[in-house]
Amino acid sequence: MSTAIRVTIWNEYRHEREMPEVAKIYPMGIHGTIAQALDDQGLTVRTATLDEPQHGLNDEVLANTDVLIWWGHAAHNEVSDEIVTKVQQRVLAGMGLIVLHSGHFSKIFKRLMGTDCDLKWRESNDKERLWVVAPGHPITEGIGDYIELEREEMYGEPFGIPTPDTLVFVSWFTGGEVFRSGACYTRGQGKIFYFRPGHETLPTYHNAEVQKVIANAVRWAAPTATRELIRGNTRSLEK
C-alpha cells in the first residue's frame, strides 16, 4: 500500500490520571507512548479514550481506522454496548484489532472470541520471557528468539480463548507459569492480535521490542482485499 496505515489507539486512560505512579511512567497516557512509537514508524496515528464522547469512536473515526489498538483494565463495563457492536462490525468488515494486556477482559475481545477470556494472574516480581514460537511470522520481524521483560505482571494458563489461528508468542514467568501471549485470529474479514504485556505500573510500552511487535502487528492486521458482502436471498444460478 502506498498510503499510510491509519491507526487509532484506544485507551481507558484512567490509571494515568488517578495514580501518580502510573502518570510518572506514562505522562502522555499509555496511548500517547504507543502513538509516539507508531508515528516514528511512519504510521498515521490518532488516539481515543473512554471519557471522550462516544469514547472517541464515532462513526467517522471508525470508518477511517484501518487498525484499532485497545488498552482497557478497570472500566470495561463503562464501554457502551452500542460502541462495542460498531467496533465488532468494523472488525468483521476488515478493520484490524490489536488487544493489549488487560484488554483480554474487554467487552470487544470477549464479544469477538465468544469465550470468557479468563486467566490466572499475579502482581509480583516476575521476569517474563516471550518466546517466539512462529519464526517467520511478520509480527516477529526484527525480534530474536525471545523478548525479555525484567518485571511484568504474570498471566497464567488456562487462558479462556478459542484455539488461535496462529500462536506467535508463549511466555515464561519466573514464578513457574506459562501463557499464550501472542495470538492471531481472523474474524470475518478482520485480523485480530492479542498481545499480553503491558501492566500500567511498569514501563513495558517504552520497550523498543514491545513497540516493534505492536508496529509489526499493525502492518499485519491492516486490511488488504476487503469487500462488500452480498448475502441473503439469492436466485438460482443458471448452469
Binding positions for a copy of itself, 135-174, rule CB under 8 A: 135-142, 145, 154, 156-160, 162-163, 165-167, 170-174
At its nearest, how many Å lie between a copy of itself and the CB of residue 233? 6
Omega cis (within 30) before 158 = yes
Contact residue for a copy of itself among 29, 190, 197, 198 (CB under 8 A)? 190
Residues 68-97 interacting with a copy of itself (rule: CB under 8 A): 88-89, 92, 94
Residue 29 binding a copy of itself, by CB under 8 A: no
Residue 201 binding a copy of itself, by CB under 8 A: no
The count of other CB atoms within 10 Å of the CB of residue 6 is 18
At its nearest, how many Å lie between a copy of itself and the CB of residue 65? 16
Please give the Cα distance from 5 to 150 (Å, whole number): 32
CA 206 to each of CA 33, 63, 113: distance values in angstroms, whole numbers, following the listed order: 7, 29, 29
Q: Which of 77, 110, 131 is nearest to 194 (CA)?
A: 110
Taking each helix axis from N to C end, the angle separating 29-40 and 208-221, rounded to the nearest 10 degrees, works out to 70
Residue 226 binding a copy of itself, by CB under 8 A: yes
Residue 63 binding a copy of itself, by CB under 8 A: no
Residues 106-125 interacting with a copy of itself (rule: CB under 8 A): 111-116, 118-122, 124
**Beta-sheet pairing, 154-156 with 120-122:** antiparallel
Residue 180 binding a copy of itself, by CB under 8 A: yes
At its nearest, how many Å lie between a copy of itself and the CB of residue 53? 27
Which residue lies nearer to a copy of itself by CB, 64 or 186?
A: 186
- Name the burial class of residue 58, with classes exposed (0-12), middle (13-18) and buried (19+) by CB atoms within 10 angstroms of its CB: middle
* Selected range binding a copy of itself among 21-29, 68-76, 184-192, 195-203, rule: CB under 8 A: 184-192
